[in-house]
Structure 1
């Protein structure tokens, strides 16, 4: 899967159901559940890399103003907003034309590949056999967290 295909899949999110993450994500989960395991894992790896690329002290400081109020988990969920809003929005965050909104988060996108795989294989999500690379966890992009 190429990044271009990833962004096409993200466009499948059903924002007519805003407020119900499961319904917003349902078309993407359905689509991915019909793809190969490799495609599901590629989707997750691309998402992880995109999140990694905006995991920076600069973006965190724009969002929080100070690291005294910084939360690793919340910063990850806030970065997810850049993904679910599409390629243009993401690029504007990456290149500094826009800042993340401290009141928005979208943790649920992180579980899409796991749910799609589980649906495809009729397995429990705990059996998901893939670990995304690079890590999307906050502060994992050490280069962008240097002073």
Structure 2
């Protein structure tokens, strides 16, 4: 699967059905389920790479601007919430994705689209009639992009950066 096809599929979401995530995703799940299993895996791999690329201190700073500071280890930032906020960026297409990387302070706030994470799984299960078990080479989990979370001069340790916090919720310092 090419990046172009990935973004073409993303553009097929039916936003007229906003409020019903399954209906929003249906055109993409249907199209993807008609492709090869390798294409489904590739879609998931590209999605993970896009979410990983957005998993940065600067995107986090833009996402929570005015409310939370990713450099302040005393402030809790939900790993799940940050992931679902990054899903909004990808789900809205290549234009917003590129714009967000170029200007992290302009990313959408207070929006989430967790349902995006299930597209490949739903397509695979529709096609194969069995559980999806593909593991992407890159993690889309929050705080997993070590390069994107390099400390800055303003980064301060705190309770949410300590070894006592499980890795999935621990921010790098």
Q: TM-score range by the shorter chain?
A: over 0.9
Instruction: Note if contact 2:63-2:105 (Cα within 8 Å) is conserved in structure 1.
Output: no
Instruction: Note if contact 2:61-2:104 (Cα within 8 Å) is conserved in structure 1.
Output: no
| Structure number, greater radius of gyration | 2
Answer with 98-107 or 9-18: which moved more. 98-107
Aligned to 1:13: 13
Please give the alpha-carbon distance, in whole angstroms, between the structure 2 residues aligned to 1:98 and 1:35: 37
Instruction: Note if contact 2:63-2:85 (Cα within 8 Å) is conserved in structure 1.
Output: no
Aligned pair partner of 2:115 in 99, 108, 121? 108
Aligned to 2:61: 61
Aligned pair partner of 2:87 in 75, 80, 87? 80
Structure 1 gaps, min length 5: none
Aligned to 1:141: 145
Q: Give CA deviations for 1:88-140 in whole Å, capped at 9, x if unaligned.
A: 011111111653223100000100000100000122xxx21310121000011
Larger RCO: Structure 1 or Structure 2 (Cα < 8 Å, ≥ 6 residues apart)? 1
Please give the alpha-carbon distance, in whole angstroms, between the structure 2 residues aligned to 1:94 and 1:109: 19
Q: Give CA deviations for 1:53-82 in whole Å, capped at 9, x if unaligned.
A: 010011112222313141110000000001
Q: Name the TM-score, length of structure 2 as normaliser.
A: 0.80
Please give the alpha-carbon distance, in whole angstroms, between the structure 1 residues aligned to 2:89 and 2:63: 13
Q: CA RMSD in A?
A: 1.2
Aligned to 1:44: 44
Please give the alpha-carbon distance, in whole angstroms, between the structure 2 residues aligned to 1:66 and 1:98: 13
User: How many positions carry a matched residue from both structures?
Assistant: 144
Task: From the two aligned structures, give the one with the greater helix fraction.
Answer: 1
Cα gap change, 1:50/1:128 in structure 2, threshold over 3 Å: closer, same or farther? same
Please give the alpha-carbon distance, in whole angstroms, between the structure 2 residues aligned to 1:132 and 1:100: 25
